[in-house]
Structure 1
Amino acid sequence: MAAETTLTLDAQRALDVAQTEKLLRGVLIPPRPALLVAVLEEQGRPEPDLERIARLISEDVALAASTLKLVNSPLFGLARPVVDIQHAVRMLGLRNITSLITGLLLHQAFRNQRGAFMERFWRKAERMAYTTALIARWCARVASEEAYALGLFCDCGVPLLLQQFPAYPGIYAAAEREAHTRPFIEVEHERLGTDHAAAGFLLARSWKLPADLCQAILRHHDAIDYYQREAPDPTVDKLALLLTAQHVLRLYAEQPPAAEWQTVGASVLAYLGIEEAALFQLIRLLRESNEKA
């Protein structure tokens, strides 16, 4: 059994979340998809029916196609191709397939939000998911499928802020420009009184996602050293993956390290047991995947 997370909603972030709830009052947080509800209900039974879960996923043709495409990608390195959803459920297991479809359903939940900003957002989210899963394959703290969903969800508060604040793309761009001098969410707080990590926490909590995933979404721009510990912690595992993936993507884009990484990066790598030189191998893998795309 995984160790219980020691990170809870501290006083400051509790205030941030409460303030975000007020600011986003009237914004429609996408409800938890009915398909996900049905799959999780089946998963919670003493003897889950894998065939029924496969049928539920297969009924959503677009989701099934996206799932098979992702499962058969080089990212997961399966020995032989998966030919249908039933095969995918048997091959990956119930928890892993559920993680994958949860991430893919997030994209569907915001399909009505269009425009250049959202197109860039989803491309970045997919790169983040891919990179997080790659790192997970190296350190074996989190399953690759769970890491992929984590990477997709970590910035899920961005579309919510865009609904409430039409000028948000400019604020997002300013936060990116200043990210090497101060944490991204400081700029959002300065301009909006909230941040996308707190908004993402609200969405993840409303979808009843695991507590450690919700906490990782909330804290993925924290410049706080959570990593000085001997025993593994599921929230810290996920946070370390996210910060490392963010750093790798900045290196890939030839950007200077983010302020958070400058503060805790060495501790993160020590916690995960990854040498800094290995990050450049990840960049090479990203470039190769981009060339094949």
Structure 2
Amino acid sequence: MNAALSFEATNEILGSVKIPATPAVFMELHELMQKDEPDIDEVSAAISKDMGLAALVLKTVNSPFFGLRAKAKSIRQATTLLGLLNISNIVAGLALRRAMEDSGAPTPEHYWESPVNIGMVSAKLSRQFAGVSPDEAYMLGLFHNAGVPLMMMRFDDYLKTMGDAEASMVDVTQLEDERYKTNHAVIGYFVCRSWGLPEHVGELILRHHDVVEVLAENGGAMSKTGISLAVLKMAEHIDRRYWGKADDPEWDRWGEQVLAYAGISSTDFEDIVEDMTELLAAG
């Protein structure tokens, strides 16, 4: 990718589409979390003011993917069980997802269902690895493809480009760069910056198709960045399997390397796939 061309084209695209505004609850929560000692009651009250979002938060944290020992019956209790930072990251992810959904941008099949699945599975898988928090894995799963609906708003042939990439076994960002001088990962990175998401989450969104390069960093030694990306790729594949998609060109390219990096055998991973798809089917 020619970085200069890509970022120039990105700015042009961002100027021609409407990025959904940052939700008010996210802005208020962000302000509260900047205090030296955030107050749990203030944070809980800010979330609870949006009844629809509060209900969605409770449904999310009480799912088996987050592994709470006891179900949270209130936002205050959920915040106590998960911690302020964890609950604020989950709320941010859900609030921003709702903003994207409400924007009315065109999307591919299962676009909104799949990020939720991927976020949930990522949260569950991340518990197996030190240094990767479930809430950040969840946020990355939700937003790694945040640039896709904006690309679809700008380019009428974008769905065809996605299909062409899968059919030709070419990475979609490579084909996007050739046709549009930018790609959905770069757009997603700028969207996340405009919303004030954590910088390291934005960097992973920017690089979520650079699997070989990221996993090879530091001589291939396991890192938070590397395992976060490996978890994301495993979750993406599990989501495809959940929807009954037998073919997965990306997993064919990277799956073996991802599993080796994570220290998971192919046999054990098949067991994980079965367990996760059952949990997803159970709702």
TM-score range, shorter chain: 0.7 to 0.9
Change in 2 beyond 3 A, CA 1:26/1:216: same
CA distance in 1, matches of 2:253, 2:162: 22
- 1:32 deviates by 2.5
Once the two structures are TM-superposed, the CA of residue 183 in structure 1 deviates from its matched residue by: 0.8
Which structure's residues are more often helix, by fraction? 2
Consecutive unaligned residues of structure 2, counting only runs of 5 or more, are none
| TM-score normalized with structure 2 length | 0.88
State how many pairs are aligned.
280
Q: 2:26 maps to what in 1?
A: 36
Cross-structure match for 1:255: 246
Give the equivalent residue in structure 1 for 2:275: 285
Q: Are the aligned partners of 1:29 and 1:203 in contact in 2 as well (CA < 8 Å)?
A: yes
Distance 1:132 1:144, change over 3 A: same
Once the two structures are TM-superposed, the CA of residue 66 in structure 1 deviates from its matched residue by 0.2
| 1:133–1:145 CA contact under 8 A, matched in 2 | yes
Where 1:24 maps in the other structure, the secondary structure is helix
Q: Secondary structure at the match of 1:225?
A: helix
Alignment of 1:21 with 2:11, yes or no, is yes
Q: Return the letter of the residue paired with 2:85.
A: R
Partner of 1:149: 139
Distance in structure 2 (CA, Å) of the matches to 1:29 and 1:91? 33
3-state secondary structure, aligned to 2:212: coil
Report what 1:201 is aligned to: 189
Please report how far the alpha carbon of residue 202 of structure 1 lies from its aligned counterpart in structure 2 after TM superposition. Answer: 0.7
Report deviation, 1:13: 4.2
**1:134 matched residue in structure 2:** 124
Residue 255 of structure 1 aligns with an amino acid whose one-letter code is A
1:212 aligns with 2:203: no
> Counterparts in 2 of 1:95-114, with a 5 A limit?
95-114=85-104
Map of 1:5 onto structure 2: none
Does the 8 Å contact 1:139/1:273 carry over to 2? no
CA 1:209–1:14 in structure 2 vs 1: closer, same or farther (change >3 Å)? farther
TM-score, normalising length from structure 1?
0.85
Cα offset, 1:48, TM superposition? 0.7
Corresponding residue for 2:156? 166
- The code of the aligned residue for 2:236 comes to Q
Q: 1:195 to 1:155 in 2, by over 3 A?
A: same
Tell me how far 1:273 sits from its aligned partner: 2.6
Paired residues for 1:48-67 under 5 Å: 48-67=38-57
Deviation at 1:74, TM superposition (A): 1.2
Q: Distance in 1 between matches of 2:108 and 2:52?
A: 20
Q: How much does 1:14 deviate?
A: 5.8
Aligned-CA RMSD value: 2.4
Q: CA deviation at 1:146?
A: 1.6
Whether contact under 8 Å (1:99, 1:146) holds in the other structure is: yes
Q: What is the rounded CA distance, in whole Å, between the counterparts of 1:202 and 1:172 in structure 2?
A: 21
Give 1:93's aligned amino acid: G
Which digits, 9 at most, give the CA deviation of each residue in 1:92-145, with x for residues without a partner?
A: 001110111111012221233448845621011112212222221222331112
Q: Within 1, Cα distance between the matches of 2:101 and 2:75?
A: 23
- What's 1:241 paired with? 231
Do 1:134 and 1:144's aligned partners in 2 also have CA atoms closer than 8 Å?
yes
Change in CA separation of 1:134 and 1:17 when aligned onto 2, cut-off 3 Å: farther
Aligned residues of 1:129 and 1:149 also touching (Cα < 8 A)? yes
Kindly tell me: are residues 12 and 276 of structure 1, through their superposed partners in 2, closer, same or farther at Cα, counting changes over 3 Å? farther
Shift of 1:43: 1.2
Decide which moves more: 88-97 or 271-280: 271-280
Q: From the superposition, tell whether residues 251 and 83 of structure 1 become closer, same or farther in structure 2 (CA, over 3 Å).
A: closer
| Identity value in percent | 34
Contact persistence 1:215–1:235 (CA under 8 A) = no
Distance of 1:66 and 1:203 partners within structure 2: 23
Look up the equivalent residue of 2:281 and give its one-letter code.
E
Q: Distance in 2 between matches of 1:30 and 1:262?
A: 34
Does the 8 Å contact 2:107/2:152 carry over to 1?
A: no
Contact preservation (8 Å) 2:5, 2:181: no
2:212 is matched with which residue: 217, 224, 240? 224
